[in-house]
C-alpha cells in the first residue's frame, strides 16, 4: 500500500491511499490519519488493503504531491541511526578522529519529532555560517514495539517505509558531538518524501530489513550522489532492537537509517555535503565544496530500478529563517 | 494555578485544577487536557484563573495524587539541560575527563517524550547490571516558542513548572556519551510529580528563571540529598534560547534543568547516585554506594520553605522489566 497525508487544516492531516503508480489518491474511509492507523494497525491493515485495491482499479482523484504534508507531519518519536560504516569511517578518518565505538551496538541519536516538513516546504534556517547540509536517508515507521523486542521479532513491526532529508548544521555538529550529549542546534526538523509505502511495495528490493534501492540526490539540478540503501551494517530490525532495549517504542515511532553511503563513494557520490568534503580533505588536504546557501535547492528521490515512482521526490529550498 | 491530570482512559488524561494546598481538585470546564491548554494559553489562562479561584473557595472534590498521571502524560518534545556546574565538574573530575565545552552554550540533550510516568508508577527496567539511577530535576513546560527567541523573550513562554525524575542507566551512559550521539539506551522514560504549577505559585522562590527551592530525595526511606535549584549556570530562559536557535519549540515542550546540584554537595547530598559515587571516587579512590536494585523506592519532593506542598511527591519503585 501507498499513503499520503493531505493538508486539511488539522495538525496530523488527512490520510489518503495513493495508487501503485502514484497517479491517483483517495481519502481513507477507515483511518483519519496515519498515526491513528498505526495505533491499530493489525485491525486496520485488511480494511486499508480493500481500499487500496479499489483505488488501483481507478476509483480515485489525481494525486498532487505538492499538496501532501509529510506522511507523518509530526511523530511521538524520531530516532536516527548511522548505519552506513563507509560514511562513519570516512568522516572519522578525514577529521583524524578515533573510530566510534558504541560497545558493539548501532549508532543512534534522538531527534526532534514534533514536525516533519513536507517534500516541497521551504526550510527556514538561521544562518549560512552554520554549514547547512542535507542528509539523504531511508526510514521506517513502526507500530507499538515492547521493550526487550529482539531483531527477529522487530521485523513484524516495520509497517511503513519513508524517504527522509535529515537537515544538519555542520558548523554546530562537531562542537555538540564533543559534549557527548548529542545534537540540539545542529539537528533542525527533517523533511519526508510525500508517499509512504508498506514494505511489499518494494518487492525484492526490501530485503534483510534494508532498502536495496539507489537514492538519487540533485543539488541545484546537478547530480550529487546515488548511493544504494542496502549496505547498512545493522538492518532496521537491529536498529529497532537497539532502540527498544530500555524503552517501549510508541506506535508511529520513526527510525532512520542515517546518511546513505556506499564504499565506492568516489564513483557514485554522497548523500550529504559533509561526506564529499571529507573525501576532498583526504584527496586535497582541504575541503573544496561549500555548504548550502539560502536559495539552494535539494532534490532526492528513490524509485524502483525500472523507474516506477515510489516515495516521490523531496524537492525543496533552504531559506533565511 | 496548580494542575493535575487525572486518568480518564484517554492518552492525555483529563485536566484538573488543584487547590493552593493540594487538598481539592476539579475538572477544568475550559480545557480538556494540559496539552490543549498550552496550545491556546493566552486565551485559556484567564478562564482557568476563574476556575482556580472557585476551587480555592472550596468548590472541589478531594485530590488524590495517586490517581494522577504525569501532568503531561506525553509531550511532543523533551529537552534536558545539565545546568548545574558543580555536578558536571564533579563527574568530569572523578572520571579524569576533560571539561565539557559546548562552545559556551548550555549543555542539553533530546530525550524520549512519548511517555512520562506518573509519580507512583512502577518503573520497569531491563537489568540491575545497567547501573539504575534516579536524577532529581526541575522542569518547565512552554507554550509555542519561535525559532530565534532570545532569553529575555523566552521568559514569557515559561507557563508551567514541574518536578521530574530523569531515570538513567549509568552503565550504558558513559559508553553512549563517548559516541557523541547522546543517549538512547541510557535514558528511559522520565517521571513527573503529580502537580504542575504556574510560576507565580512559587512566589519569591521563582527568580531569575530558576527554582529557588530545595529538592529533597529519600532513597528507601533514607535522606539522600536536598540540593537547592537556584544555582543553574544558565537559567531556564537561557536554556529556551539555546533550544530555539534552529527550531521552533512546539507548545507543550518540556525542558529540564538537569540533576540539581550545589557546590556544598558534601553537606547537602546529591540528587543522583552517580554524583555520590563520584565524590566517593575522589575521597576513597573507589565508589562505595551501589546503584538501585529492583524493589528500591525513590521519593522526591520540593515544597515551599514553610512546608506548603507544591508539586507533590514522586514516590515510586523500580521493578524488573
pLDDT tens across A12-32, in order? 999 999 999 999 999 999 999
Pairing of strands A254-256, A297-301: unpaired
Segment A104-133 shows an average pLDDT of 97
Query: In this model, does residue B94 exceed pLDDT 90?
Result: no
Q: How far is A98 from chain B (nearest CA, A)?
A: 10
**A247, B176: Cβ pair inside 8 Å?**
no
pLDDT in the model for residue A199? 98
Q: What is the pLDDT of residues A136-184, one digit of tens each?
A: 999 999 999 999 999 999 999 999 999 999 999 999 999 999 999 999 9
- Residue B116: closest CA among B142, B81, B67, B77: B77
ipTM of the complex: 0.97
Which residue in this structure is represented by grid cell 550529487? A224
List B residues 106-125 in contact with A (Cβ-Cβ < 8 A).
Answer: 107-115, 124-125
Query: In this model, does residue B306 exceed pLDDT 90?
Result: yes
Distance, CA of A121 to CA of A70 (rounded, Å): 10
Segment A219-232 shows an average pLDDT of 98
Distance, CA of B191 to CA of A266 (rounded, Å): 48
- Residue B255: closest CA among B72, B66, B100, B3: B72
Average of per-residue pLDDT values in chain A: 97
Distance, CA of B5 to CA of B196 (rounded, Å): 9
| Whether A159 contacts A198, CB under 8 Å | yes
Segment A282-308 shows an average pLDDT of 97
Query: In this model, does residue B102 exceed pLDDT 90?
Result: no
**B184, A110: Cβ pair inside 8 Å?**
yes
- Residue B48: closest CA among B70, B29, B21, B67: B29
Does pTM top 0.80 for this prediction? yes
- B283 torsion bin: left (phi>0), alpha (psi -120 to 50), beta (else): alpha
Q: What 3-state DSSP class applies to A263?
A: coil
Distance, CA of B271 to CA of B83 (rounded, Å): 13
- Residue A235: closest CA among A177, A154, A134: A154
In degrees, rounded to 5, the angle at the alpha carbon of residue B70 between the alpha carbons of residues B233 and B219 is 65
Helix axis angle, A85-94 relative to A273-284, nearest 10°?
Answer: 50
Segment B130-158 shows an average pLDDT of 98
- A317 torsion bin: left (phi>0), alpha (psi -120 to 50), beta (else): beta
**B247, A79: Cβ pair inside 8 Å?**
no
φ, ψ (nearest 5 deg) of residue A128: -65, -20
List B residues 150-189 in contact with A (Cβ-Cβ < 8 A).
Answer: 169, 172, 175-186, 188-189
All cell numbers assigned to A218? 540533485
Amino acid at each position: 500500500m501507498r499513503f499520503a497525508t493531505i493538508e486539511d487544516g488539522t495538525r496530523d492531516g488527512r490520510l489518503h491511499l495513493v495508487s501503485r503508480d502514484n497517479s491517483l489518491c483517495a481519502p481513507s474511509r477507515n483511518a483519519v490519519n496515519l498515526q491513528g492507523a498505526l495505533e491499530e494497525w493489525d485491525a486496520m491493515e485488511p480494511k486499508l488493503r480493500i481500499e487500496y485495491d479499489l483505488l488501483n482499479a481507478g476509483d480515485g482523484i489525481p494525486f498532487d504531491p505538492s499538496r501532501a504534508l509529510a506522511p507523518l507531519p509530526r511523530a511521538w518519536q524520531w530516532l536516527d541511526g548511522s548505519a552506513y560504516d563507509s560514511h562513519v569511517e570516512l568522516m572519522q578518518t578525514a577529521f583524524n578522529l578515533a573510530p566510534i565505538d558504541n560497545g558493539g551496538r548501532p549508532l543512534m541519536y534522538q531527534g526532534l519529532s514534533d514536525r516533519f516538513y513536507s517534500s516541497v516546504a521551504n526550510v527556514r534556517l538561521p544562518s549560512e555560517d552554520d554549514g547547512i547540509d542535507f542528509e539523504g536517508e531511508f526510514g521506517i515507521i513502526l507500530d507499538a514495539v515492547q521493550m526487550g523486542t529482539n531483531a527477529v521479532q522487530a521485523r513484524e513491526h516495520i509497517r511503513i517505509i519513508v524517504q527522509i532529508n535529515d537537515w544538519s548544521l555542520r558548523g554546530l555538529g562537531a562542537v555538540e558531538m564533543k559534549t557527548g550529549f548529542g545534537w540540539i542546534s545542529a539537528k533542525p526538523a527533517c523533511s519526508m518524501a510525500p508517499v509512504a509505502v508498506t514494505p511489499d511495495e518494494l518487492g525484492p528490493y526490501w530485503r534483510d530489513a534494508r532498502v536495496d534501492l539507489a537514492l538519487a540526490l540533485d543539488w541545484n539540478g546537478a547530480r550529487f550522489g546515488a548511493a544504494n540503501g542496502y549496505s547498512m551494517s545493522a538492518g532496521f530490525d537491529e536498529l529497532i532492537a537497539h532502540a527498544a532495549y530500555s524503552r517501549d517504542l510508541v506506535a508511529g515511532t520513526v527510525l532512520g537509517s542515517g546518511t546513505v553511503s556506499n564504499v565506492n563513494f568516489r564513483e557514485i557520490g554522497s548523500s550529504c555535503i559533509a561526506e564529499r568534503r571529507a573525501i576532498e580533505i583526504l584527496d586535497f588536504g582541504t575541503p573544496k565544496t561549500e555548504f548550502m546557501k539560502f536559495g539552494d535547492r535539494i532534490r532526492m528521490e528513490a524509485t524502483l530500478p525500472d523507474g516506477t515512482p515510489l516515495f516521490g521526490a523531496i524537492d525543496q529550498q533552504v531559506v533565511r529563517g
